[in-house]
Amino acid sequence: MSHENSPEQSKNTPEHVERQRSNRKEHAISKVLLSFLGSMELAISLFVVVGIASIIGTILQQNQAYNTYIVKFGPFWFEVFRSLELFDIYSSWWFVILLGFLLVSTSVCIYHYAPRMIRECRQFRLNVLAKSLKLMHSSGSWSSQSSVEDSAQFIEQKLSNGGYQSRLKHEQGKITIAAKKGAANRLGYIFTHGAIIVISLSALYDGNFNLKLRELAGQLKLETRDLFASQVPDMSRLKADENHAFRGSANVPEGSTTGLVFLQMRDGFLVQELPFTITLNDFRVDHYESGMPKSFESDILIEDKQSGEKISKTIAVNHPLIYKDFAIYQASFDDGGSIMDLQAWSLENDSQKIMSFKQVIGKSSVIGTQKGDMKLELVEFKVSNVRPNPREEETGRKFKNMGPSLTFRLRDSSGQAQEFINYMLPVIQEGRSFFLSGVRSSTSEAFRYLFIPADDAGSVKRFFDFRTLLNDTQEMRRIAEKTAALSLESSKAVNPQIITQMAVVMQRLVELFNQGGFDLVINDINEKVPEDKRKEVMDSYFKVLQTILGTVYIEVLQKDGIDISKNITPAQEQYYDDLVHTMGILANYNAPFFLQIKSFEHKEASGFQITKSPGKDLVYLGCVLLCIGIVLMFYIAHKRIWIIIEPESAAQTGAESGDESGTMIIAAGSGDRHQKEFALEFQAFSQLLDKQFSKN
């Protein structure tokens, strides 16, 4: 015989009890989790951290080349910032997690509190007691000879005139009026939290975190080599439909076309294909007197790759072109591959060759030197260089233009490079003309300048003719013997052996001076002469050196066809002093040649920033919601007024409504903010009741 357990018996089984305990435990855990995620403390903490991170991301320029950050912050702080991913903060794992938590926390807050807020907006709270109203700060009572209904009608009309919505409750001859206005204040909470959710979603959607995930999955690889766009492999390229949001840059020379942008990421880049091409037809830039760019704009042609649609447009700073889902900004300008006609004057002791060649800015070439092959990299060309004018009072001009300049690097076989900046035109220094060439070992250093004196023809030819003669061993032997003979000519007994010895000393001093300037001559004296005789020998040697260098200078002038039968002019003497001074420090220049700009063909390029951010519409929506929410929360106050109207006898004695001899009115109110403003409003309402009823 079998039987079944009754429902009451089933509920008492161990399985049922265990299931109930498990359900209660899960419910408790869910409640704690929802309470934590929806807590105000968590939301505010997350919001503050995200805000601080956003400030850092705004101040610190994002997604630049790592070398830029190393130069700016140094190796130590670069490593610290890199480990925290501050250089790509909006796509860093910790920022995405914070943003995700903020999104979840805000969503839970809305889920938990929004129904309560909506109920708060809709409810009038008619269940109030006279005792409670009398205890409120803003309250009052009146007596009326009118009936309960007439008094209620009068009060309801006055509340309506004041912008209040009201509801009436009739109960045993008593009427309760509940009125409210500004209930939309509660909706401000929903709007502001909704704005945070919308903006967070747009930030997650428009970020390039998806590219990092694809990189981790091995689907993408950053390109770190210096390659042309056409040489970048497919692993580092993105098709036009593969990336829904990005921010990239493109540098387009005049007359050129591109359909690609470069996305800078950490120490490398990706190539992003566009569904259209950009052709730069013309570029224009205006400058202030100080040389700073005043405005620049580009005439471009957009051609859709699929439809063939063409659009011509001029874009300028703060006036972008919006094409479909893309925004094209005028971001910068640069050299577009100017062709430089250069001349390299050798500074090597065993070489007097002069090389002439053409090279494009941004390109490199290999030049053979005594120290091996060196790579010449043309970095930047400027047509004008405006500097403050130190002679402003004399000339009346605040700035002066130093003319075109070329910045280039010389890199040896080990990869070490020095950077130079050479000016095309001579500059005036203390009334004399010099060709300037700056040199530095790294971009963090200031340039150290070499001043090469310009000759009568405004060139460096005489300077290098002087160096060429110093490097000619046979000519220097002849000049040394000639100079020694002339120096000893006044002696009565001239010994040819002494002349020869003196010529040898002269020639050696010239070789030392030519190799290392005055420093090498001084070092040689310090090594070979006792300390007590160094000053005497040094004075003697420098007099001898000055004499033979003067003879070499005269030889150079004669070869230039200059008549020196008369005395040398003060200008020629000054040129000689400048010449010797420059030769004396030339070894510190540490370059195999002096690069001179003969002429150039200038080409400019426009720098565009191209963005695709479909989430921007969500940002606009979020900003609108945020503005509405702030207005509702801070500028609209939620106010409530309650009025209880009942027969006076009933209010005092509890008699039946049929025995009434008058009407008792009790009114009170409160506001959730701007209490002083509400107190004045309630006072005005009370004055209306004072005029109609008797004040108790």
Give me the helix-helix angle, 185-206 and 616-635, nearest 10°. 160
Q: Which helix (H) or strand (E) holds 196?
A: helix 185-206
Residue at 157 is within a domain: yes
Number of domains present in the structure of the chain:
4
Q: Which of 566, 596, 626 is the last residue of a domain?
A: 596
Residue at 416 is within a domain: no
Q: Do 188 and 113 touch, CB atoms closer than 8 A?
A: no
Q: Do 251 and 262 touch, CB atoms closer than 8 A?
A: no
Structure tokens at 611: 């963005």
Widest Cα–Cα separation across the chain: 158
Mean pLDDT computed over every residue of the chain:
86
- DSSP-derived pairing of the beta strands 237-238 and 246-253: unpaired
Residue from 601, 596, 644, 542 nearest 174 by CA: 644
Q: Which of 564, 596, 628 is the last residue of a domain?
A: 596
Residue at 455 is within a domain: no
Query: Do residues 572 and 513 share a domain?
Result: yes
Residues 6+ apart with CB under 8 A from 464: 345, 354, 594
Residues 6+ apart with CB under 8 A from 438: 420, 421, 422, 447, 448, 449, 450
Query: Do residues 212 and 295 share a domain?
Result: yes
The pLDDT, as a whole number, for residue 287 is 83
The pLDDT, as a whole number, for residue 521 is 87
Query: Do residues 500 and 585 share a domain?
Result: yes
Query: Do residues 232 and 324 share a domain?
Result: yes
Query: Do residues 75 and 155 share a domain?
Result: no
Residue at 99 is within a domain: yes
Rounded-to-integer distance, Cα 142 and Cα 154, Å? 13
> Which residues are bridge partners to 608 per DSSP?
250, 330
Query: Do residues 166 and 238 share a domain?
Result: no
Look up the CATH number of the domain holding residue 165: 3.30.310
Strands (E), 531-570: none
Residue at 87 is within a domain: yes
Query: Do residues 331 and 290 share a domain?
Result: yes
Query: Do residues 199 and 229 share a domain?
Result: no
Query: Do residues 56 and 199 share a domain?
Result: yes
Residue at 586 is within a domain: yes
| pLDDT under 70: residue ranges of the chain | 1-28, 350-352, 392-396, 489-494, 565-566, 649-661
Query: Do residues 81 and 197 share a domain?
Result: yes
pTM for the model stands at 0.67
Residue at 160 is within a domain: yes
The b/e string for 648-671 (b: 16+ C-beta within 10 A; e otherwise) is: bbbbeeeeeeeebeebbbbbbbbb
The pLDDT, as a whole number, for residue 651 is 46
The pLDDT, as a whole number, for residue 635 is 87
> Which residues are bridge partners to 597 per DSSP?
342
Output the DSSP codes for 58-83: HHS--S--HHHHHHHHHHHHHHHHHH
Residue from 447, 469, 435, 631 nearest 548 by CA: 469
Query: Do residues 139 and 271 share a domain?
Result: no
Rounded-to-integer distance, Cα 300 and Cα 285, Å? 15
pLDDT, tens digit, 9 for 90 and up, residues 88-120:
888 888 998 899 889 988 988 888 888 888 888
Domain of residue 582 covers: 464-596
DSSP state letter for 319: B
Rounded-to-integer distance, Cα 613 and Cα 324, Å? 11
Q: Which of 577, 612, 647 is the last residue of a domain?
A: 612
Look up the CATH number of the domain holding residue 270: 2.60.98
Residue at 685 is within a domain: yes
Query: Do residues 571 and 645 share a domain?
Result: no
Q: Do 16 and 10 touch, CB atoms closer than 8 A?
A: yes
Give me the helix-helix angle, 93-122 and 14-37, nearest 10°. 100
